[in-house]
Amino acid sequence: MKYRVIGQNPDTRRKVSVLSLGAMLFGTATDEATSFAILDRYVEAGGTFIDTSNNYAFWVNGSQGGESEQLLGRWRRSRGIGDEITLATKLGARPLAAGTSYVDNPEGLSIKAIREAAERSREQLGMDTLHLLYAHIEDSTVPLQETVEGFAELVAEGTVGLLGVSNHWMWKVERARNIARAADLPGYEVLQYQHSYLRKRADLPGQLSQDGDQGVVAGDMLSALREDPELTLVAYSPLLGGAYVRADKPLGPVFEHAGTPVQQAVLREVAEEAGATVNQVVLAWLIGAEIPAIPLVGASSVAQLNDSLAAVDLELTVEQRARLDAAR
């Protein structure tokens, strides 16, 4: 396994593995025994960065979510896991009632919601301090100042370490960071967004906005990451739900543009040359990119996880990486 440091403050920064494990479906679609086996294998391989959210996976059973956090809490206790494994969770997108959605009924990012959600997550995970806490979605009903202060209060109290953000427009992330900086408060240091080798179209509306998808890495974010080494990018859904390698998983209209077949062809060429799978090439490309990302992979079996783990040791040549970059 390989590792990198996230965060700048010596009191809160963490050394984490360059491959993160997503626990989104653990405890719902993925049963407990299988989830425990995947988690055990990940740690055995040197993995130290596990990701969840307080609303996972509300859509499976029509709940408010929390099943993933609860399972991780049971796993931590049964294995004696402590602070050596960095555990990240998110808040803000938990439905306020079972059977509803975060799209129209989210808990939001008020100071009250942040405090209540963080306390629930700490209890479910069995943690005194949440190592990394994300603002999961935007909340336009609450002033950014209030959200920034709400997160900062938890850091000051020692119940939260690093702060992160997901699925926000980059201008709003920077505005929140500027508010924090001006008040000498901790701000967002980790950005969790959808990012992969294939590029999505930017001219289609997103799930939450007619202006597009604020959850996808775009040029403005890449520019910000290039200029600001304090920021870390965590790339969720890097393997596009299996669409790179499975014929029964179509890419969909967001990838219907002239660049996609060209990029797919280069991926296949490099995979054949490297004796690797296309998925492994994608993950290796992300880990070693000019703007490096920490891929956040899901797994429903140990075999799937093993395939992703092998990407950590895949070293693309300078020429292979240049070809991949040129095709984007």
Separation CA 298–CA 240 (nearest Å): 10
**pLDDT tens across 195-228, in order?**
999 999 888 777 667 777 889 999 999 999 999 9
Q: Which residues contact 119 (CB under 8 A, 6 or more apart)?
A: 159
**pLDDT tens across 15-28, in order?**
999 999 999 999 99
Looking at the structure of the chain, the number of domains it has is 1
Q: Is residue 258 part of a domain?
A: no
Q: Is residue 297 part of a domain?
A: yes
The alpha carbons of the chain give a radius of gyration, in whole angstroms, of 19
The predicted structure's pLDDT at residue 20: 98
Q: Is residue 259 part of a domain?
A: no
Q: Is residue 155 part of a domain?
A: yes
Separation CA 28–CA 42 (nearest Å): 19
Separation CA 142–CA 147 (nearest Å): 7
Per the rule left: phi > 0, alpha: psi between -120 and 50, beta: everything else, 196 is beta
Instruction: Supply the CATH number for residue 209's domain.
Output: 3.20.20.100
**pLDDT tens across 135-194, in order?**
999 999 999 999 999 999 999 999 999 999 999 999 999 999 999 999 999 999 999 999
**Element housing 180 (H / E):** helix 170-182
Q: Degrees (nearest 5) of the Cα angle 278, 205, 221?
A: 60
Helix %, strand %, coil % for the chain, to 5? 40, 15, 45
Q: Is residue 276 part of a domain?
A: no
Q: Is residue 305 part of a domain?
A: yes
Separation CA 253–CA 212 (nearest Å): 14
For 171, the domain range is 3-250+292-315
Q: Is residue 161 part of a domain?
A: yes
Q: Is residue 10 part of a domain?
A: yes
Question: Of 150, 51, 176, whose CA–CA distance to 92 is shortest?
Answer: 150
pTM: 0.96
**What residues pair up with 132 in beta bridges, in sequence order?**
88, 162
